[in-house]
Amino acid sequence: MFFAVLTLIVLASETNSQVVPYEIDKDYWFSDSHTIKTNSGWTFHIQELKEYNITGKVGGVKYYRQEHLPFSPADFCIAWGKVIEPPHNEWGNFTMLDRGCDHTYTSGDYRIELDSEYIDRHLANNHLIPADKKIYDKLMSIKEGDFIEIRGSLVIVTGENENGTYLEPWTSDTKGTFRECEIVLTEQVEVLEMPEEYKKKPGFLEKIKYMDTDEKRGIVSITMVAVMLFILIITIFLLKRK
């Protein structure tokens, strides 16, 4: 019998808005707390590795409809610390990849880049496995920009299909290593109030602080022209009054 080994590399042709994930308790269901079955003949087994919780801002959301991973309908790219504080919250960009995410600064923005090592320690892509329908619905309602807390367990998932196809162990990172991802059996999720330190926006003087030399020269030039025009207008006004 031929056994096909499925990989986790997915070439998604749909845009995120076009993806309709498989639905828990309809397309797949938990037969017990660590076993998932599907209408298409799959049986998946979940092994918990360690407890997990994360709190931060959702920088990106991507939905999936994958027959070999029907139980993981979404990835959340979550960031915390300086990555989401001003001025970085204004000019940092999150990009959702296929089962991954990245954070970059757009070329030409203010020169505020955090070093890559810091970003690596304050950014996580979470493959989410809702534990029940209530959690599934909550996850589906969360959007980019929400400040959330997720609690659950990091897991390994294996599986086999009645047709002989099987899923190689899908194993969560447990060390917080960037470019790896957390696979989370999600048992709690809450949308929280955004902390005040993350709501602030950089003022004009702070923006100047992060400008490069050419940008600062441009600001100085514009300011000088404005001052000269103001002096000229005042001079003309005074001359007319004589």
Spatial separation of the C-alpha atoms in residues 106 and 108, rounded to whole Å = 6
User: In the prediction, which pLDDT does 14 show?
Assistant: 41
User: In the prediction, which pLDDT does 240 show?
Assistant: 77
Average pLDDT value for the chain = 84
User: In the prediction, which pLDDT does 209 show?
Assistant: 54
168 and 225: one domain? no
37 and 153: one domain? yes
Is residue 78 assigned to a domain?
A: yes
Spatial separation of the C-alpha atoms in residues 233 and 44, rounded to whole Å = 78
Q: What is the pTM of this model?
A: 0.77
135 and 18: one domain? yes
How many domains does the chain fold into?
Answer: 2
Is residue 224 assigned to a domain?
A: yes
For the segment 178-195, the average pLDDT, to the nearest whole number, is 90
pLDDT(4) > 90: no
pLDDT(190) > 70: yes
227 and 144: one domain? no
Kindly report, residue by residue over 98-108, the tens digit of the pLDDT: 999 999 887 55
End-to-end CA distance of the chain: 104
User: In the prediction, which pLDDT does 233 show?
Assistant: 86
101: region left, alpha or beta (phi > 0 left; psi from -120 to 50 alpha): beta
Asked if 83 and 102 count as a contact pair (C-beta separation under 8 A), the reply is no
146 and 231: one domain? no
Q: Write the CB contacts of 30 (distance below 8 Å, at least 6 apart in sequence).
A: 36, 131, 132
User: In the prediction, which pLDDT does 78 show?
Assistant: 96
User: In the prediction, which pLDDT does 163 show?
Assistant: 95
User: In the prediction, which pLDDT does 91 show?
Assistant: 80
Q: Which residue has the higher pLDDT, 181 or 90?
A: 181
Kindly report, residue by residue over 113-157, the tens digit of the pLDDT: 788 888 888 999 999 999 999 999 999 999 999 999 999 999 999
Domain span including residue 220: 212-241
111 and 222: one domain? no
